[in-house]
Structures are given as C-alpha cells and as structure tokens.
Amino acid sequence: MDDFKSIVLNQTPLIDVRAPVEFLQGAFTLATNLPLMNDEERQKVGLCYKQNGNAAAVKLGHQLVNEGARAPRVESWAAFMDAHPDALLYCFRGGMRSKISQQWLKDSGREIVRLKGGYKAFRRYLIDYLDSLPKLLIKDDIKPVVVAGRTGSGKTLVIHQLNNAIDLEGLAHHRGSAFGRHATPQPTQINFENDLAMALIRQLETQPKQLVIEDEGRNIGSVNLPADVFDALKGGERVVVETPLAERIAITLDEYVVQAQNEYASLEDWIEFMLAAFGRIKKRLGGERYQRVLGLFETAMNTQQASGSTDGHQTWIETLLTEYYDPMYDYQMQKRQHAVAFTGSIDEVVAYLKNQS
C-alpha cells in the first residue's frame, strides 16, 4: 500500500516497528512505535551486518528476537489492531523488519497491510509535497493570507476560528517569542516538517480560496519553515488585527502566565523558565529597562504567592508590550511595507476572512 495521500486524509493509524532510537529521530503523528527490535538488538544486528554480511545479520536477528521476545511483541501489535482495525505496518524501507512483523501476525491469525517503501517513502512523499507547495497554490488558485498584528492582539485566536487556516505555532509547539516555549519539548525538525506537510495536504484537499496563516518568522523556536514554503506563504496579502492595549494585556496574561503556569509541574519551574526568558532579551532591553521589568516581575510573583492573584503580572506585561514589542513591530511594518487588505478587531477580522473564503 503506497497511497500516502489517503493515509493523511483518513488519518490512518500506523504501527512503526523501527527501533525507538529511529522513531525519536523522526516519525509521523499517526504512528505508534511498537518495535520489532529494541535499540540494543538493532545495534547488534547492524554491527553483525557490517562485519559478516546480510545472511549472518538476519540469523542473529532471529536469535535475538526469540520465542520469549516474540510473543509479547506480537501481542502488542495485535492489541493495537484490535483498537485500530484499519492500521498499517511499516519499518524504515518497507523491507525485512516489516515483512517479519507481518508474517508473525499472520502466524497468529491476523492480516495487516504493509506500507510500501516504509518510513523513507512516506517521508519522501511529504517532503516532495512541501517542495511543490508554491506551484500547487498557483495551480489551484489558492491565495495565502497573513494575519498580522501586535504581540497580544489575538492573532492565534483568529486562526483558531477559521477552517482554512494553518496553526504554525501549534504545529511547532511554540508561541513564537522569547517567552514562547512550552513546558514540553518542541517536535524535531523532521516531525515538524511531516506535520506541516500533512496539515497542508488536508487543507488544500478542501480547495479553499484562501489559506490563512499567522505572521511568523521563518524560525519558530527550534524549528523552521522550509525556505520555499515560507516564501510562498508569506507572500500573501495582510490582514491586521488591531486590539486595544488593555485587551492585549489580558490576552497575554492568560496565555503567557495563567495557561503557561498550568503547564509546569510547579510555580518554581515556571519562574525559572521566565527568568531565563528575560535573560535572553536582556541585551535588547538594555540594562536599566531589564532591571525595571525584572523588578515588576518579582513584585508580581510576590503578590501571586501571597494572594493567589495573577493580576500583578499586568504591569511587566504592559511594559514589555509598549516599550519592547511595539517598537519592534512598528519597525518591521515600516521595513516590509506590505499591502494591507483589511484592518479590524479580532471578531471583525474573523468575519472578514470567513466572508472571503
């Protein structure tokens, strides 16, 4: 089976029988890692292959994955198939490991289809799709639209209300600023590209008139958009979200303080992260302003720890928005000088974009 597009559109569950170390390097969100060989076994077989050739490596593989190890692995695959009857199976190239796994399942009375070409072929399909995106947008007459606006204006809130939008920050698992890291790690670059390609495939399949994204730099935390994809998406017209300062402070407080604190195991862990984030922009803030913002943050934390209220955080948030992020935004807008198709509040921008789609 090599209809990769249908796998993406149907979100077909996948059994990945590669070793855990391979899965961690790059995988698909549709896949669950239920390995034929663990990392140690794979390493031994690989070494044997280099020293003694393929036949010896295959023989060693069978010896390592003996009857004692075989049964629980087949049971784990069978349990997954019970939960997901439409599941497919793959290894790295669609070769020996997936064939053995498929045969073991057949011996136990179960049939499963292998993914032709394995992980490598599916990954190649997704990368080729990303490479072809600029031409696809032109061919299908799909116009990219970029939602711009100041920090805290609610751009992500707009994205989440649209059916024809790609949430780049969601895919990157990062809010796109010095304070944007989540408590859990970002995906690897490979996984981000895989997820991005799948999201684009699903969107373009609906033949939208427009494809909406949030105004982001090419780098989102530790991952980055492929250059051609970035250029194709960022070349679209701009719509700008204009939100009053008080509302921007409230949005930022909710996202970067209230929600962020809930992600961490303890308040101390969040404080440690925030202090490191302040440190990352210390040079750009300047010494005096850095000390002032840090003082406001520490006062807010003392108030929160004493009363449980997060309202005190509004002071340092307002300072960062008006004295740091807004001047940066103004500079970037003057530098880029993109044509702006529409400007309005969160609700007005959502209504405008829905009317255009």
Spatial CA neighbour of 14 closest among 194, 186, 206, 187: 194
Residue 48's pLDDT is what? 77
Spatial CA neighbour of 65 closest among 22, 27, 104: 104
- pTM value is 0.91
- % of the chain beyond a pLDDT of 90: 83
Asked if residue 155 lies in contact with residue 249, where contact means CB atoms within 8 angstroms, the answer is: no
Return d(Cα 294, Cα 300) in angstroms, integer. Answer: 10
Predicted confidence band of residue 18 (pLDDT cuts 50, 70, 90): very high
Return d(Cα 220, Cα 224) in angstroms, integer. Answer: 6
pLDDT > 90? residue 235:
no
**β-strands 223-224, 219-220 pairing:** antiparallel
Average pLDDT, the chain: 93
Return d(Cα 80, Cα 88) in angstroms, integer. Answer: 10
Asked if residue 161 lies in contact with residue 233, where contact means CB atoms within 8 angstroms, the answer is: no
| Residues in CB range of 304: below 8 A, 6 or more apart | 267, 310, 312, 313
Spatial CA neighbour of 196 closest among 135, 127, 138: 127
Return d(Cα 33, Cα 161) in angstroms, integer. Answer: 33
Opening angle at CA 277, ends 281 and 153, nearest 5 = 80
Residues forming CATH 3.40.250.10 domain(s) in the chain: 4-116
Q: What residue has token string 């629980």?
A: 72
Asked if residue 35 lies in contact with residue 104, where contact means CB atoms within 8 angstroms, the answer is: no
pLDDT > 90? residue 190:
yes
Return d(Cα 130, Cα 269) in angstroms, integer. Answer: 37
Residue 41's pLDDT is what? 81
Asked if CATH classification 3.90.79.10 holds for the domain at 4-116, the reply, yes or no, is no
Predicted confidence band of residue 140 (pLDDT cuts 50, 70, 90): very high
Pick the CATH number of 128-357 from 3.40.50, 1.10.10, 3.30.1120, 3.30.1540: 3.40.50
| Residues in CB range of 318: below 8 A, 6 or more apart | 245, 249
Residue 334's pLDDT is what? 82
pLDDT tens-place string over residues 66-123: 767 888 999 999 999 999 999 999 999 998 889 999 999 999 999 999 999 999 999 9
Better-predicted residue by pLDDT, 132 or 236: 132
- The residues annotated with a catalytic role in the active site are 91
Residues forming CATH 3.40.50 domain(s) in the chain: 128-357
Residue 65's pLDDT is what? 76
Residue 236's pLDDT is what? 85
